[in-house]
């Protein structure tokens, strides 16, 4: 499984809308769900910097993620442009391979 981590600095006053668009039921997840290799998204908020958010996207493989991007580039770019008004900046932090399954929560 590949995990992709993004960081976002959200514009003041845009936090609720950002959470709706980038959260686990938001527009990004709805786009990604068209691909059977997408496994989910988590949205995190930095408690010490409340306008900073992180998304963690889970894909079966890096190849599957890139295949999705190639097949859905126009829709991806349109959604990316629509979200520009919500953020001051965004950056891809890293992608990495998850080697062990996440342990079940008690």
pLDDT in tens, 22-52: 998 999 999 999 999 999 999 999 999 999 9
**pTM of structure:** 0.88
Question: Chain-centre distance of CA 9, in angstroms?
Answer: 13
Closest of 43, 51, 44 to residue 15, by C-alpha: 51
Give yes or no for residue 55 having a pLDDT over 90. yes
Domains of the chain: 2-97 (3.30.70.100)
* Torsion angle of the four alpha carbons 92, 26, 56, 77, in this order, in degrees rounded to the nearest 10: -30
Q: What is the pLDDT of residue 3?
A: 95
Closest of 53, 44, 41, 37 to residue 4, by C-alpha: 41
Q: What is the pLDDT of residue 104?
A: 67
Give yes or no for residue 106 having a pLDDT over 80. no
Give yes or no for residue 53 having a pLDDT over 80. yes
Dump the DSSP string for the chain: -EEEEEEEEEPTT-HHHHHHHHSTTSHHHHHHTTSTTEEEEEEEE-TTSTTEEEEEEEES-HHHHHHHHHHTHHHHHHHHHHHGGGEEEEEEEEEEE--SPPPPP-
pLDDT tens figures, 63-105: 999 999 999 999 999 999 988 899 999 999 999 998 876 666 5
């Amino acid at each position: 499984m590949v995990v992709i981590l993004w960081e976002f600095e959200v514009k003041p006053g845009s936090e609720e809308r950002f959470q709706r668009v980038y959260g686990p039921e938001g527009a990004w997840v709805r786009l990604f769900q068209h691909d059977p290799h997408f496994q989910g998204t988590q949205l995190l908020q930095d408690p010490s910097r409340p306008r900073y958010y992180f998304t963690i996207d889970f894909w079966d493989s890096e190849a599957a993620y890139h295949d999705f991007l190639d097949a859905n580039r126009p829709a991806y770019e349109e959604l990316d442009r629509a979200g520009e008004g919500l953020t001051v900046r965004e950056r891809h932090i890293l992608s990495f391979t998850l080697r062990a399954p996440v342990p079940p929560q008690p």
